[in-house]
A and B are shown apart, each in its own frame.
Chain A
Amino acid sequence: MKDVKYLVDTTLRDGEQSPGYALTKKQKVEIAAMLDAAGVYQIEAGIPAICSYERDTLCEIAQNKRNAKISVWNRLNETDIKQSFACNPDIIHIGVPVSYVQIYTKLHKNKTWIMNTMISCVDLALQKGYEVTVGFEDASRADPTFMLTLASALKAMGVNRIRFADTVGVLSPTRTYHAIHELISITGIEVEMHAHNDLGMAVANSLAAAKAGAKYIDTTILGIGERTGNCNFKNFISASEFAFTVSPTHSSATKVEQMAEKILVKDRKGGHYEKQI
């Protein structure tokens, strides 16, 4: 019996966030419906804090959904999280920068600030009755002991899942395996792998994470995303079917890709994703 892995598709958040993409409400609603109908477990649909147009879009996606869980992405910021409530998602995802370069150079904060702000933001969403997942941003370059401390604190609060983000796409499968295995074995928390393709290893790293026990894998249709993109939805399914049970099947994923491609690719010069090589 193969282990079951759950896909979290982030085409409508991390995918759309990459330069060249600006989907309309109708387009986002259509793509969400395709993913939902195909059997994707969770759809990360967007960022409520962007603007009211995006919040309207997210409301409609949440309203229309059938089986998939709809999640929305937030910065580590109470104002942003409050804006998410209006969209009525199933899951509120909070991104927490965890590497020193992100904490000290980007935010000009420190580890104590991260821990305290994370606890207050998570608490805010939990108090409203939402399922909360927390994304460790730049986890691949972070201090593992700090991540273990954060993960333990989250587990104690009732957060069951953290996202391990290889934000700049520098992991290898071996390093991915060890990092994920350590997080799970020490804290017992569930892990979601979020890989980027900067070195062409997003699919392999996601497979390594799944083998190490990550239950959830992030993907995007056509692999769209920041810089070189994310783990490609169809390609991951194709490679993982040897070892894991994943929904949707490869043939459903192919159909989703074909339909979504018409919306995502269009005539965007220089932004073609016709084939990821």
Chain B
Amino acid sequence: MIRITDKTLSCLDEYDAAPEQLRTLCGLLLELGTDFMELSVDAYQKIGVLPQNGRYILKVEDVIEGRSYPGFDRYICRHSGFVTPIENITEIQVNDINEINFLRQYQNLTNVRITGLDDIMCHDYKMAFEQIMKNISGKIELCPENRYFCATAIAVEWILFGGRNVAASFAGIGDYAPLEEVLMALRLELRYKPNMNYAVYPHIKELFEEITGQEIPAHKAIIGSNIFDVEAGIHADGILKDPNIYEPFNPELVGDKRCLVLGKHSGKAAVIIKLKELGITEDPITVSHLLEAVRQKSIEKQASLSDEDFIELVKAM
């Protein structure tokens, strides 16, 4: 059974989030159907009473601090001894593949999270996974970091290799694997479908941007605002015939929708569809001329055309 920990609420301490924002974010993240949600003490204190439908992990400094906050399913802290309570997860930082050998000393711990391993995909990662599993007999959760842009792949490959537990964070905050990518990759690769609602992503994204003050790039995998825009003639034509041709999943699944954009690379099919969308009828000769005008305008503008730009071109025909 796959278990996913959402670390988002333990990565927001440096931002001045209001309690209400964190409460709402917590509720929305729960809809994604992850197994555990990890909070920092600061986030927990701001949220107060946690929603009952979640299972929570508190990130603490050490085992003793955990005692001040009873009632959590798990507590996580950096290594603080070789004998720890059963509900405690020991977090061990492994900065690169060469440090895996050091894990032997933690062999008898029952619950371990390995954080880091940024470079593992650049090497023989399957051999490294095997070594990790040999070195630790207890439950292992992998929390890959993203220095080499491979954190999602590490999380997914760990599960495919037979690992059971991974940790990730929304949009990869904290430089971890982006949760939304891990969830979608597991869905497509293993048909892993927890009781989830991915259509909440736009709401999570909006709130996340408010809290962090950082705009998510428009082309960010799964949650970018422009990822379902289509302009190239060959792609627009294909998507109109069957979206499955050029889309890895339905935009509605992630609360988005596709958008036909006209520009330098558009073809006739896209112009015809845009005309239909705008309720304009034109003959085939005009469509060819319009296409030329669209391409020229797009090059002049060095960008795609807005609907208003296109309507102007139609009027000028």
Using a CB–CB cutoff of 8 Å, the interface residues on chain A facing chain B are 16-24, 27, 47, 50-51, 53, 75, 101-102, 105-106, 138, 167-170, 172-175, 197-201, 203-205, 207-208, 223-224, 226-229, 232, 235, 238-240, 242-243, 266, 268, 270-277
Binary interface encoding of chain B residues 199-236 relative to chain A, with 1 for a CB under 8 A from any of its CBs, else 0: 00000000000000001111111101111111110110
Task: Say yes or no for B264: interface residue by CB 8 A criterion.
Answer: yes
Given A22-B298, A172-B185, residue A200 in contact with residue B219 (CB < 8 A): no
Collect the chain B residues with CB atoms within 8 Å of residue A275's CB: 217
Task: Say yes or no for B253: interface residue by CB 8 A criterion.
Answer: no
Greatest chain B CB density within 10 A among A19, A51, A101, A271 is at A19
| Contact (Cβ within 8 A) A22 B148 | no
| Contact (Cβ within 8 A) B304 A19 | yes
| Contact (Cβ within 8 A) A105 B226 | no
Binary interface encoding of chain B residues 268-279 relative to chain A, with 1 for a CB under 8 A from any of its CBs, else 0: 000000000000
Collect the chain A residues with CB atoms within 8 Å of residue B189's CB: 172, 175
The 4 lowest CB-CB distance pairs between A and B, nearest first, are A204-B153, A200-B181, A22-B264, A19-B231
Q: A18-B232, A272-B217 are in contact. List 9 more A-B contacts (CB 8 A).
A: A22-B298, A167-B246, A199-B248, A200-B185, A204-B150, A227-B228, A227-B248, A276-B149, A277-B172
Task: Say yes or no for B188: interface residue by CB 8 A criterion.
Answer: yes
Within the complex, which residue of A170, A227, A268 is in contact with B227, where a contact is CB–CB below 8 Å? A227
Collect the chain A residues with CB atoms within 8 Å of residue B47's CB: none
Q: Main secondary structure on chain A at its contact with chain B? A: loop
Greatest chain B CB density within 10 A among A50, A227, A240 is at A227
Task: Say yes or no for B128: interface residue by CB 8 A criterion.
Answer: no
Task: Say yes or no for B105: interface residue by CB 8 A criterion.
Answer: no
Collect the chain A residues with CB atoms within 8 Å of residue B304's CB: 19-20, 22
Q: Which of B54-62, B74-82, B85-93, B115-123 contacts A (4 or more CB under 8 A)?
A: B115-123
A174 (CB) vs chain B CBs: closest residue: B160
Chain B, range 122-159, C-beta contacts under 8 Å to A: 122-123, 125, 146, 148-150, 152-154, 156-157
Collect the chain B residues with CB atoms within 8 Å of residue A53's CB: 295, 299
Q: Which of B25-33, B34-42, B64-72, B237-245 contacts A (4 or more CB under 8 A)?
A: B237-245
Distance between Cα atoms of A238 and B146 in the complex (Å): 12
Collect the chain A residues with CB atoms within 8 Å of residue B235's CB: 17, 226
Task: Say yes or no for B53: interface residue by CB 8 A criterion.
Answer: no
Within the complex, which residue of B157, B222, B229, B263 is in contact with A172, where a contact is CB–CB below 8 Å? B157
Collect the chain B residues with CB atoms within 8 Å of residue A168's CB: 246-248
| Contact (Cβ within 8 A) B301 A204 | no
- A-B contact list, 7 entries, CB within 8 Å: A197-B221, A226-B230, A238-B149, A239-B121, A239-B148, A270-B218, A272-B217
